[in-house]
Amino acid sequence: MGAGRKLLGLGGLQLKTPRVCCAADTEDLEFVISHLKSKQPRRCAVVAGISLGGIILTNFLCKMGEVKSDITDDILGAAIISTPWDLFKSSNSLEQPLNRLLFNRHLTKLLQNVLKEHLSSDQFQEMTLKLPYDINSGLNSSTVREFDDRLIAPMSGFKDCNEYYSAATLHTKPLYKINVPLLCLNAADDPFAPGESIPFELLSRCPNVAMVLTKHGGHVGFTEGLFPRGAGLMEKVLVQYTQALFEQWSQGKYDSSSTNGVYGKCCHFMEKS
C-alpha cells in the first residue's frame, strides 16, 4: 500500500485556514503517520521526501528521535531527495544572477499563482481579513526570500524569514538522534541545495544517516544517458533502498542501529556510475 501527503495549499486543495506549507512544521506529517499507524497496525513503511518535503521529513525524524517517540517504530527507513540543508545558503544561491533568472523568478511566480488561486475564494479572503499582516504582500514579491519573509514566515508564526529559516534549517538539528536509516541523495550542482551547504562532517557522525552525492543531477534531476528515458538514478536508488530494507526485515535481519547492510545492498551499483 502506498500513501502520499500533499503540502498545505497545493494539489488543488482549498485552504480552510490561513496557513500554508512550512519547512519547519512537522505537525501534519506527524498526524498522517500516526493515522496510518492506527489504521494499519504492524505494517512497516518506508517514507520519502523530496526537496521541501525532505526538510519536513528530516525535521520530523530529528524531533521524534529526540523525544524517543514510538511513532517511528514501524518505519523501516526514510529517504530524502534534493533536500536543502541550509536555507540561508540555498536562498543565497538562488539569488545569484543566473539562478535568479532561471529559477528564482519562476518559482516566485508559481508561489504567487498558488496564492492567487486561494485569494479567489471569498471564504479564504474572509479568513484573512483579521490577520496582523497583509496576505496580498506576497503578490508583490520578486524573490522566494521576499515571499517567505512577507507571507510564509508570518503565516507560520515567525517574525521574519531569518527566524523561519533558522527554525527549518537542518544542519543545526540533532541529526545524530535519528533512529531509523535515512538515505540522502543530493547533487553537487543543485542550485537549491549547493554542495557547500551539505554538513558532511556532521553527517559522518550520524550512525543512521548515509549521504549519496553525485557530481551532476541538479534539483530532482538525476537523469542518465545522452537521451534520458525511463527510470533515472533517483528512482533506482529509491527502489533498491526500499527492496533492501524489506528484504532484511522479512529475513529477520533488520536492525535500525546497524545500517551498513542496507546501504551496501542498495548502493553497490553507484561505484559503477
214-244 per-position pLDDT tens digit: 999 999 999 887 777 778 889 999 999 999 8
199 domain residue, yes or no = yes
90 in active site: no
174 domain residue, yes or no = no
209-214, strands of its sheet edge to edge: 45-50, 75-81, 182-187, 209-214
pLDDT of amino acid 273:
39
Same domain membership, residue 201 and residue 239 = yes
Same domain membership, residue 188 and residue 74 = yes
State the pLDDT confidence band at 271, using cuts at 50, 70 and 90.
very low
**Contact between 89 and 197 (Cβ < 8 Å):** yes
- A 10 A CB-CB count for 34 gives 12
Name the amino acid, one letter, at 264: G
Task: Give the chain's domain count.
Answer: 2
- Domain-terminating residue out of 168, 199, 227: 168
Could you tell me the residue range of the domain that residue 95 belongs to? 88-168
Catalytic residue of the set 156, 190, 197, 256: 190
pLDDT of amino acid 135:
80
3 domain residue, yes or no = no
Average pLDDT of span 201-224:
92
CATH number where 192 lies? 3.40.50
- In angstroms, the CA 234 to CA 101 distance is 26
Q: H/E/C letters for each residue in the chain? A: CCCCCCCCCCCCCCCCCCCCCCCCCCHHHHHHHHHHHHHCCCCCEEEEEECHHHHHHHHHHHHHHHHCCHHHCCEEEEEEECCCCCHHHHHHHHCCHHHHHHHHHHHHHHHHHHHHHHHCCHHHHHHHCCCCCCHHHHHHCCCHHHHHHHHHHHHCCCCCHHHHHHHHCCCCCCHHHCCCCEEEEEECCCCCCCHHHCCHHHHCCCCCEEEEEECCCCCCCCCCCCCCCCCCHHHHHHHHHHHHHHHHHHCCCCCCCCCHHHHHHHHHHHHHC
State the pLDDT confidence band at 74, using cuts at 50, 70 and 90.
confident
- How much of the chain, in percent, has pLDDT values that exceed 70? 84
Catalytic residue of the set 51, 91, 156, 197: 51
- How much of the chain, in percent, has pLDDT values that exceed 90? 53
State the pLDDT confidence band at 84, using cuts at 50, 70 and 90.
very high
Same domain membership, residue 258 and residue 189 = yes
Average pLDDT of span 59-88:
93
- In angstroms, the CA 203 to CA 171 distance is 9
219 in active site: yes
Cell of 74: 514501524
29 domain residue, yes or no = yes
- Mean confidence (pLDDT) of the chain: 84
Same domain membership, residue 81 and residue 184 = yes
Average pLDDT of span 24-43:
85
Catalytic residue of the set 90, 149, 156, 219: 219
Q: Is the pLDDT score of 76 beyond 60? A: yes
- Domain-terminating residue out of 138, 168, 198: 168
77 domain residue, yes or no = yes
226 domain residue, yes or no = yes
pLDDT of amino acid 67:
87
112 domain residue, yes or no = yes
State the pLDDT confidence band at 2, using cuts at 50, 70 and 90.
very low
Same domain membership, residue 198 and residue 81 = yes
Query: Could you tell me the pTM of the whole model?
Result: 0.86
Same domain membership, residue 99 and residue 149 = yes
- Domain-terminating residue out of 168, 193, 220: 168
Same domain membership, residue 45 and residue 33 = yes
pLDDT of amino acid 198:
95
State the pLDDT confidence band at 124, using cuts at 50, 70 and 90.
low
Query: Cα dihedral angle (79, 85, 91, 92), rounded to 10 degrees?
Result: -130
pLDDT of amino acid 79:
96
Same domain membership, residue 226 and residue 120 = no
Same domain membership, residue 63 and residue 184 = yes
* CA distances from residue 76 to 56, 145, 174 in whole angstroms, order as listed: 18, 35, 20
Closest CA to 181 of 249, 114, 134, 270: 249
pLDDT of amino acid 154:
92
Same domain membership, residue 243 and residue 220 = yes
250 in active site: no
- A 10 A CB-CB count for 123 gives 10
1 domain residue, yes or no = no
